[in-house]
Structures are given as C-alpha cells and as structure tokens.
Amino acid sequence: MTDPVPSPTPFNIAVGADTRLQAGERSQTPRIGRALSAAAGVTITGLDLARPLSPEIRDLIRTAFLEHHVVVFPDQALTREQQYAFTANFGEIEPHIGRSPQSKRYAVAHVISNVDGNGRPVDRSSSPVSNYRWHTDKAYYAVPPMLTALYAVELPPQGGDTEFANTERGYAALPLETKRRLAGLRVVFQWGAARNASGEPLTDAELRERPPVDHPLVRTHPETGKKALYLGNHASHILGMSKAEGAQLLEELLQHTTTPQFVYAHRWRRGDLVIWDNRCLLHRAVANYEMDKYRRILHRSVVRGTIPF
C-alpha cells in the first residue's frame, strides 16, 4: 500500500537568503524527498515550521502540495499558535466547531484524540461520526476546507496510522460509461447522516444546526482543473435518485477509490506535521492500535476552501 515508487533523486532547493535568522539558527534548506507512494505523499525536510516562511518556501510547499496532495514535514516542535501561523500561509483558518472540553482553543488548533475528559484513552472508533471512517473534512459545509494540517503530539507505540485515498486517481480509473453516468450528479452531505442508519437518528436541534448541503459528486480541483470523486462519511444520498440507489452508488464508488492502489498510509512519528488536500483525497484514522490502552493525540487546523464545482 505504501511501497515507494521510483522517482527522480531527491534534491535540495536553494532558497533566497533568510533575513530573519537569529544567532544560532540554521538556514531553511528545504529538501524534497521521493514520492511516498503511487497514490500520494511526499516528505519535505530541512524546514523548521515554527519560523516564518519566506515567499519562496511557501510557494515550494504549495507546488509540492498540489502535485502530491499529502506533504509530510518530520521532526517539528510546534505550539498550537505556531501551527496556526504555519497553516495561515495557505489561506484563512477556519475555527473548529466542537464541544468537548479537551478541544478548547478551537480557533488556534483543536485536539483530535482518543482521550476522555480525564485524560484516559477510550475506543470511540465505532461511532458513526468517527474519523475512523473514510471522509473528507467538513464536506457537510457549503464551503468545505481545502487543506488540513495535522501535527502528531502523542502516539501509540505502534499503529494509529492515517490513510489517504486519492479520489482523482479513483475517478480517472473509472470506465467512460460510469463517468458519463456520474456527470452532473449532486450528492447530499449532512453531518451525522450515518447516525440515521445506526438507530440513533439526528435530533431536530442537530438537523436545524447543521442543515444538509449538496455538492457535485465529481468535483473539479479549482487549482489543477482535475476531476475527483467527492463522497465519504456524511454523504447521505444523491439528488434525483432513490435513497437506496444513491447509497449503493456511493458505496460502490467508495470501495473503488479506496482500493490499495489509490491509498497512501501514513505511519506517524512524533513531531510529524502533515498537510493534505481535501479537494482530491479521502482520509481516515486507522484503528490498528489498542485504543483503550494507548493515547493518540494530534492537533488539527483547517484552511477554508471554495464552493465545490
């Protein structure tokens, strides 16, 4: 699933003189590694993301992001404020709407974890709204985020990966006939849609707070022009189709675009900061560790996107 694919030799990129260096600081010399898989992913080393980025380095990261969709920056040491400042290089940060006390300071970078209010690890992976299901961040917003940044603070000794499925490649691999069938279809997203099937339907208050939105099932990347499937958890049905027919089509497409050939699995190391493009990827946390024994804590910030078309 994550076999490295052949790619040109990694290279150093000379970036203009950094005028903000303090005594003892090293210069920022980004080094772009090989592609991490055929599906997505590249590593950039040689950067301290706690420091301001020059316009050249920001552009270099943005180019790698558009080409590889997932960019990994190992060995970082970031406060939530520094993570916020780094992420803000790529657009307007969207504050998280959440209620759990451990996620306070939503506007800076909120906490993603398997930890309860007393700091103990718990297994919530079977929840219909859990991030252990394939999804793209906040697809149930009229204007969903373009980029997510996730920073590894505390990890289990093994496992706790995040998988990314490339929905551009998934779309490209569909037969022409299927592409014709999908053209123009719109998918309805609603936060917690999967709860309805789980016997714990959304309450009237929740329905009012998070009304459904619809987006194209095949969306066009606003920067690269490439088409990608747009679906995943919180997708409830397809406009103009019976609920059952729409659900079946969504499930078939999800199975297709999450087959191993389209997936990169990120094995976290503490201090990794990973950014990804929500406009052409699905992702999920992987329940491959003892969730009620080990804590997994990450800090997340998201950048506002544009209306999908």
By annotation, the residues acting in catalysis are 135, 137, 283, 300
Size of the site for ligand SIN (CB under 6 A): 10
Q: Is 112 in the site for ligand SIN (CB under 6 A)?
A: yes
- Find the binder of ligand SIN among 148, 167, 236, 278 (CB under 6 A): 148
Coil, strand or helix: which one is 87?
helix
Strand ranges (E), the chain: 11-12, 31-35, 42-45, 70-73, 93-94, 110-113, 147-154, 162-166, 186-189, 213-216, 218-220, 227-229, 235-238, 263-266, 273-277, 281-285, 297-303
Is the separation of the CB atoms in 215 and 230 below 8 Å?
Answer: yes
Q: Is 138 in the site for ligand SIN (CB under 6 A)?
A: no
Is the separation of the CB atoms in 5 and 37 below 8 Å?
Answer: yes
- CB-nearer residue toward ligand SIN: 20 or 99: 99
Side chain identity at residue 35, one-letter code: A
- CB-nearer residue toward ligand SIN: 165 or 298: 298
Rounded distance between C-alpha atoms, residue 239 and residue 196, angstroms: 18
- CB-nearer residue toward ligand SIN: 162 or 166: 162
Query: What residues contact residue 30 under an 8 Å CB cut-off, 6+ apart?
Result: 12, 13, 15, 44, 45, 46, 47, 57, 60, 61
Q: Is 137 in the site for ligand SIN (CB under 6 A)?
A: yes
Whose CA is closest to 49, among 23, 28, 26?
A: 28
- Find the binder of ligand SIN among 69, 133, 215, 300 (CB under 6 A): 300
Q: Is 115 in the site for ligand SIN (CB under 6 A)?
A: no
- CB-nearer residue toward ligand SIN: 51 or 266: 266
- Find the binder of ligand SIN among 102, 131, 178, 224 (CB under 6 A): 131
Q: Is 45 in the site for ligand SIN (CB under 6 A)?
A: no
Site string for ligand SIN, 266-295 (x = CB under 6 A): -----------------x-x----------
Q: Is 214 in the site for ligand SIN (CB under 6 A)?
A: no
Q: Is 76 in the site for ligand SIN (CB under 6 A)?
A: no
Rounded distance between C-alpha atoms, residue 288 and residue 294, angstroms: 11
Q: Taking the CB of residue 48, how many other CB atoms lie within 10 A of it?
A: 16
Provide the minimum distance between the beta carbon of 163 and ligand SIN in the complex, in angstroms, as a whole number.
Answer: 8
- Find the binder of ligand SIN among 28, 89, 162, 236 (CB under 6 A): 162
Provide the minimum distance between the beta carbon of 29 and ligand SIN in the complex, in angstroms, as a whole number.
Answer: 29
6-to-135, 154, 235 alpha-carbon distances in Å: 29, 32, 36
Q: Which residues bind ligand SIN (CB under 6 A)?
A: 112, 131, 137, 148, 150, 162, 283, 285, 298, 300
